[in-house]
Amino acid sequence: VSDEDELLSGLRRGESQAYEELVRRFESPLYRYFMASHGDPQLALEQSADCFGNLVESLPKMTGGPNQLQPFVFAVARNVLRRQWRRRTRECSPLSSAEAIIDDRRSPEMEVEVQEQSSQLIAAIRRLDPQTCDVFILRFIEQLSIAEVAIIVGEPVGTVKSRLHRGRQRLAEILCPENGPI
């Protein structure tokens, strides 16, 4: 029995150690996912905690093998995000807040450059429609496979591919309006 199988059976039995491991594995990816979706660290904190709380409720009912765990966790995160979208009508949050959490092991000049770039990117991604934005973050930031993204968003692989293509087109329009070099 692999570690993954043990983890999954521990999660299904509701063992606290298994949940500690779950937090260790997914806290950064989930926080990144929420941050990239709206750029508000406080909201990302709340959503991240909300997501783990929901996972304690829903993981014992999860079907499938260990390879389904990551799509399942992101599907729960996506539901948390969608609830938030319904509650708020995509109000703008200060982009400067995203700068505070970027890794600071770089030179000050480089850090400023990276922060500016990240803020611009988050702003550009947020200008995509919510479904495309979601698919885009999962594919290019969390680096999940197209098949995994399709499971998470509950859409066919073809639809995910066309969303990614549209997202890339739109991002090109946003980031380089004159079609110049990037």
Nearer of residues 22 and 151 to other proteins, judged by Cβ = 22
Cα dihedral 125, 127, 132, 134 sign: positive
Q: How far is the CB of 89 from other proteins (least distance, A)?
A: 24
Q: Which stretch binds other proteins (CB under 8 A): 2-10, 68-76, 148-156, 171-179?
A: 171-179
For residues 34 and 48, give the distance between their C-alpha atoms in angstroms, rounded to a whole number. Answer: 8
The token duo for 121 is: 């990117």
Burial of 108 (0-12, 13-18, 19+ CB in 10 A): exposed
Q: Does 94 bind other proteins (CB under 8 A)?
A: no
Q: How far is the CB of 28 from other proteins (least distance, A)?
A: 4
Torsion angle, alpha carbons of 45, 51, 56, 58, to 10: 180
The token duo for 1 is: 């029995």
User: x/- string (CB under 8 A) for other proteins, residues 36-75?
Assistant: x----x--xxx-xxx-xxx-xx--xx--------------
In order of 42, 44, 52, 63, 83, the CA distances from 113 in angstroms are: 23, 23, 33, 44, 34
Instruction: State the residue for tokens 């304690």.
Output: 56
Site for other proteins in 140-169 (CB under 8 A): 140-141, 143, 165, 168-169
Q: How far is the CB of 71 from other proteins (least distance, A)?
A: 18
Binding residues (CB under 8 A) for other proteins: these are 14, 16, 19-20, 23, 27-28, 31-32, 35-36, 41, 44-46, 48-50, 52-54, 56-57, 60-61, 98, 101-103, 114, 117-118, 121-122, 140-141, 143, 165, 168-169, 171-173, 175, 179, 182
